[in-house]
Structure formats: structure tokens, C-alpha cells
Structure 1
Amino acid sequence: MSTVRKGQAPAKLNRDEFRLVFSRNFFNPSFEKVGKELAAVEQVAWENYVNSEKSPVTVKAGPGAADPDYDLSVEWKEASDRLKAAAARQMDRDTQSRVLIICASARNDGSCPSEISKTWRLSKLCEELLLAEGFEPDLLDLSLLTSDYDRHIHPCKACASTAMPLCHWPCSCYPNHSLNQNNDWMNEIYEKWVSAHGVIILTPVYWYQVPATLKLMIDRLVCADGGNPDPSSTHGKKAEEAKALEENWDYPKHLAGRAYGLVVHGDVAGIESTRRSLSDWLDWMGLISASPTSQLDRFVGYYGSYADSHETLDEDTAFQEEVRNVARAVGTAVRDIRSGKSLPANRGMGNPRKK
């Protein structure tokens, strides 16, 4: 087994440093009237921090786990149970076909930009078409990260790079109550992905890349591609145990078989490379491109005014219809996959390079 390398992380904050960081959450002078109460809360938070109380409420892993006596986080166990139930519903042929529509723009009119995004408008076109064709659309608006109170997608901690079995499905890195890394949105988002029969991602281009809102979600979906559904097998985050397990790991693809479509738009550059990077990622995850029509990249107002971009989109009815065609293509693919008419081209093939 390879050696677990150490020596990068800094030491914990001392008491004074912790107080300074804690107090930044209460900069508003209105909190002065509850100063004594906040001091008491700070003391408890300090104790939780120095004792590394990541998951203070636990339940036994129970029958079927590698270690039934292991203390699992209640929050992780509840999320895992919801994903299992969602997977069962997704496989039930009597359920309505569900398509997850992801609006990846960081802009909405409830935050600093004060205006809705073009991506939101395009997402609504997909939602309206799929609803009219008998699907159950589920619109996930990632811009809520910028406008909602204390909503987060915390960054991936890259457990998979130590060993794939250390990356749990769903992610067990959050919440981490000792570090105040709470209110993570991903457990709800995992359930949306698992419940879906098809996925459409609509995104603008920010500096030749996808927005941070989308990249955060993408990175946290690494556990869906090879992740370990049993944290008791590694006793939480025991790197040595995970490294030993990886020698015979089968890298389960928890979201494989779903149809996907893409809409990428920009104003100057980067649309093709962004669309390709997204399709490469989804292909790797085992999702199925609905058709060539389901992958679209277009400029809206090439080198035009930002201020007039919504009016430019109003006039580009061809682009609007192309977006509807992405939704139509994904809908058709979902029907074909669920009926057994369409099967993955690589079905039955062994993967000589598992990862």
C-alpha cells in the first residue's frame, strides 16, 4: 500500500484567532445588543472546533454495512436513504419521466446584477416545452447561490485523489459542524440528479469556462462516478483503509444511463470549448448524448452591448427554437431509453481502464 503523505495543512487557530474569525459573521452593529449571548455561542463553537466535532449526531451503520457498529452521521444516512428511494422511483417504469434542467448562470434579479439572466429565460423555454409534452421538468437554478441566505455548494475536498473509496456516495465531507461548513445544497442536488431520466445543462461562458456555480456542482459530483456508498468500509475518512480498498475497486457509475443535452451561450468566445468540456465530462460519467441536436453552442449578440443583450435574444428566434430542439431531443431519448428502444452503444463491453 502507498504511504499516506502528511505536512500541508496549517495548525488549528488559537483562541484569539478563532474569536476574530467568528466575530466577522456579526459585523453589523445591531448584534451588539446580544453581545453576551454571542460570547456564549462563540465559546461552544470554539469547543466544537478544537474537538473536531464534525458529525455530532450519529447512528449505527447497521445490517449490510461493512462495519455495522460504525457511527454514521445522521445527516449522511438520511441523504443516502433518500438517494436509494429516488433511484428506486427512477427505475420504476410506471413513474412519469423526469428531466432535470440546470440553469448555471450566477445572475438573477435578486442579487447585485438586478436582472434575470438569459440562461434563465432559455431554461424556461425547455421547461415549458417538456411540461407540454408530458414530462416532469425539474428546474434547478444555481444562481440561488448568489441570492439566497446562507446557501452553499462547498468545494470538493478531492478525497478521490487520495483513494476512490475515500470519496463517499453521497459526499460525506459536509456538513462539517466543527468548521461551520454547513447549509450545503448538494444533498438536495444529488437527489435531483438521481431522480432524473434526462438532464439539460444551460450555461453562459465566463472567461472561457463555466461559471463557478456550475463548476462547484460538477466537482462535487465526482462521488457519483466511482464513489463509495458505504463510509463504514473506510471508517469515515481513514486514508490508509481507503488506499487498501482501491486495489480491487470497481468504480461504480451511479448516474450512468441518463440522457443529456447542453446549451452553451456566450458573447465573444469560448462557447465551443466549454460545450466540449461539458460533453466530455458527461460522457465519462456514463450519461448518453441525446443526439447531435442536443448539444448546442451559440453567440448572443456577438461583440454586442451587454445592456441590450436581452433585446438581442428577443430577436434571435432561431436560437430560441434551437434550444427547444435540445429539449425535444432529450425528451425523445428519455422515451427511447425507458422503453428499451435505445441502449448504450458500449453495453456489455468491459472497461480495460477502470477509473
Structure 2
Amino acid sequence: MAEQTQSDKAGIEPRKGMPSPRLGEAEFKQRYRKLFYDPAFEAEADAIGRLAQIAWQAYSNERKSPVTRKAGQGFHDPGYDLSVEWIAAREAVEAAQRRHEDVAAPSRILIINGSSRSEHTCPGEMSKSFRLVELARRAIVDGHGFLVEVLDLSRLASEYGRKIYPCKACFSTAAALCHWPCSCYPNHSLGQVQDWMNDIYPLWVEAHGVMIVTPVNWYQTSSPIKLMMDRLVCADGGNPDPSLTQGKDPALAKQAELSGWDYPRHLEGRLFSVVVHGDTEGAANARHALADWLRSMKLDPVGEIAELDRYIGYWMPYATSHDELDADKDVQIAVTNAALALAEAVARRRTGQFSTIGADLKDPRPK
């Protein structure tokens, strides 16, 4: 029995050995002061120095979540100190789930613009993705009267304070270490604040249907889409109770997973549509990857009509790409059809006429 216990312990022991990223005080303060590079801040140099000292103390003491409260009833450990920011994010997700389940509420569609291009930043011109999103939005609103929310990921590049931080891959250590919603951010000690995902999670949760419109960037989806995708890993098997793992304790998380993890599918049953457009190559691969990802999270496909990969201005000059879209009425109709097909499927799903095939069958390998 003792040997078994020792073996179990060895199995959940976190592997370590990477070099430390910790900064010394001088380098930390030098980096902090770069936030105030503009000469307009020089008059407040002494105040900035005092702020740098406070920030250094927070960094040194690893004050990731400086404001907490007891978890309370409903958690594995009611006495665990939870971040009040995470609690607020959880409450927003729970409220979104109630809106999703309210049979008397209007149907909701989330349309996502995956392009980072915008006339409000260096490109100086709107994206074709945004134009296609608008086509889809108008078709659904005019044709069905649904509530349509547009998530414009181009704001990551154009709006002050908009960030999506990278996924830290907690799930790869153990499923239970990946919290739903994500608790990795904000991390105040590292200055990792203003993460957009806490606003994005409820948009996915409340939606009955999700439509993604993205360009091809180097044979892949756009970087904003990929950032969002990675941070949605917690929606697919993530742990809704951080007190179970005492925050980010990897050994406890490994133990919880090996004890039998149920891999909760927090977005299961929503319907999806995908539109990928390019100008030379890669559209089919990007569309395939997105559709596979959504299916793996147990969102349901609508059908071939709602999954598109198209080329706009194939091998034509970039400078006239919007003119090519103006002229390509077939692409415009195809995108409109994809949106209308998604809306039709949502309407049918909500009246029980569009069921998930195999919903009662158990997945032998959920992750």
C-alpha cells in the first residue's frame, strides 16, 4: 500500500527545470518607467518613481489578486480566498447562461469579426471581414429579428486598453487547473490587466448561435481569432471551482483529474457558422481548422451552407480588394445564406426541431 501511495505521488509531481523569468529591481523599474516614455510625463518623474516602488513591491510579493473574499457556499472550500474580479466574471457567465436558457427571451446570435485590419489603425482602411459581418448581421436582423451581437476583434489593435493575453496552457498540466472562466488574468503583480476575455466569455455563453468571419493570415486564422480560441479552452472541460485546486496548485489539479474528471462542456449545444476568405491560398485549411475546433467543443454544425471558404480577388492587387468584393455578388450571397442558415437552425433548435444527433451517447475519450 505504501508503494502505491509513493507511486501516486510521483505521478502527480509537477515537472520543473525551466530558467526563472524573475527580474531584478533595477530592470523591473526600468521596464515600468517605459509606460511613461512620453516627455509629457517628465514633470511627474518623482511621482512615477513612487509608483514604480509600489509596483515593485507588488511584483516582489507576487500579489496577483490583491483584492479577495471568501468563496462561500457552493464551492469545494468555502473558506478559500477568491479574487473578487474572478467572482464578478463568474457571475457574468452565470447570468449569460440564464439568458441562454430563458425560453421566453429572444434568440441571440454572436457574429465575430476576426480581422485586425481597420481604418482606425495603420492600414487606413476597413476590412473585408467587417463588411461581410455587416452583411450577415443585417440578414439575420431583417430576416428573423434576433438579437445580434458583433464582437469586433479589430479593436485589439485600435482601442486603448483592449488586450487578450495568451493562454498559459494550464489544461496541459491538468484539466482541473484550467478554471472556468479563466483565472489566469488579471495578474496585477505582472501588470497583466485589462484582459478582454472576461467580457467575451458571456457573449459566447448567452449566444444560441455563433458565426465567425475571418481572413486567412499566413495559411491560418488571424492572430486575434487564435488568441480568443486558445483562451476558450477553459470552456471545454475547465474547472468552475478554483477552490478545488486551491487556486493554481498543479499537484492538487493532477490529483483531481486522475480521480475522474467529467470534462464539463460549457458551450455545448450552441450552433455555429464559419466564413473564411482569402486572396491566394489557405482558406480551406483555415475553415477546416475552425470548424473542427468548434465541433470539438461540442458546438453543432448547421450544414455545408454555413461553412464557407472563398477567395475574393484571387491573385489580384491588394489595393483593389474592396472593389473585387463589390463585384463578387456570389460571395455576398453565400455569406448572407450562411447567416440565414444559422438563424434558421437556431429557430428550429429552440422549438425542438433541430436536435443534436447522438447527444445521449457517451464519449469514451472526452479529452
TM-score bin (small chain): over 0.9
Which residue of structure 2 lines up, in the alignment, with residue 116 of structure 1? 126
Q: Kindly indicate whether residue 163 of structure 2 is the aligned counterpart of residue 152 of structure 1.
A: yes
Q: Structure 2 regions of 5+ residues with no counterpart? A: 1-7
- Is 1:235 aligned to 2:263, yes or no? no
Residue number among 52, 60, 68 corresponding to 2:70 in the alignment: 60
Aligned to 2:5: none
* Alpha-carbon distance between aligned partners in 2 of 1:337 and 1:48, rounded to the nearest angstrom: 50
Residue 82 of structure 2 corresponds to 72
Q: 1:14 to 1:163 in 2, by over 3 A?
A: same
CA distance in 2, matches of 1:9, 1:181: 21
Q: Map of 1:134-145 to 2, 5 A cutoff?
A: 134-145=145-156
TM superposition shift of 1:224: 0.2
User: In 1, Cα distance between the equivalents of 2:366 and 2:133?
Assistant: 35
Amino acid at match of 2:300: I
Cα offset, 1:89, TM superposition: 1.1
Q: CA RMSD in A?
A: 0.7
TM-score, length-normalised on structure 1? 0.99
For residues 222 and 301 of structure 1, the distance between their equivalents in structure 2, rounded to whole angstroms, comes to: 35
Q: CA deviation at 1:12?
A: 1.5
Question: How far apart in 1 are the matches of 2:38 and 2:154?
Answer: 25
- Establish whether residue 190 from structure 1 lines up as the match of residue 187 from structure 2: no
| Alpha-carbon distance between aligned partners in 2 of 1:11 and 1:60, rounded to the nearest angstrom | 31
CA displacement at 1:127 relative to structure 2: 0.7
Give the SS at the match of 1:84: helix
1:150 Cα deviation from its structure 2 partner: 2.0
* Residues 99-149 of structure 1 deviation map (CA, whole Å, 9 limit, x = unaligned): 000000010111111110000000000111111121111000000000011
Change (3 A) 1:118 1:11: closer
1:242-321 aligned within 5 A: 242-247=253-258, 248-321=260-333
Instruction: State TM-score, norm by structure 2.
Output: 0.96
Q: Which deviations, in whole Å up to 9, do the C-alpha atoms of 1:331-350 show, x marking residues without a partner?
A: 01101111111111121101
- 1 CA distance for matches of 2:183 and 2:44? 34
Displaced runs of 4 or more, over 2 A: none
Cα displacement (A) at 1:11: 4.5
1:352 and 2:361 aligned: no
Aligned length: 355
- CA gap 1:9/1:94 in 2 versus in 1, 3 angstroms: farther
The answer to whether structure 1 residue 24 and structure 2 residue 44 are counterparts is no
The amino acid across from 1:351 in the alignment is: D
1:61-95 CA distance string (max 9 Å, x none): 10110000000000000110111111011011100
Aligned residues with identical type, % of pairs: 49
How far off is 1:354 after superposition? Answer: 2.1
Q: Hey, what's the Cα distance between the residues in 2 that align with 1:34 and 1:20?
A: 16
- Secondary structure, aligned partner of 2:112: strand
**Structure 2 letter corresponding to 1:324:** T
Structure 1 position 203, deviation (Å): 0.3
Give ranges in structure 1 of 5+ residues lacking alignment: none
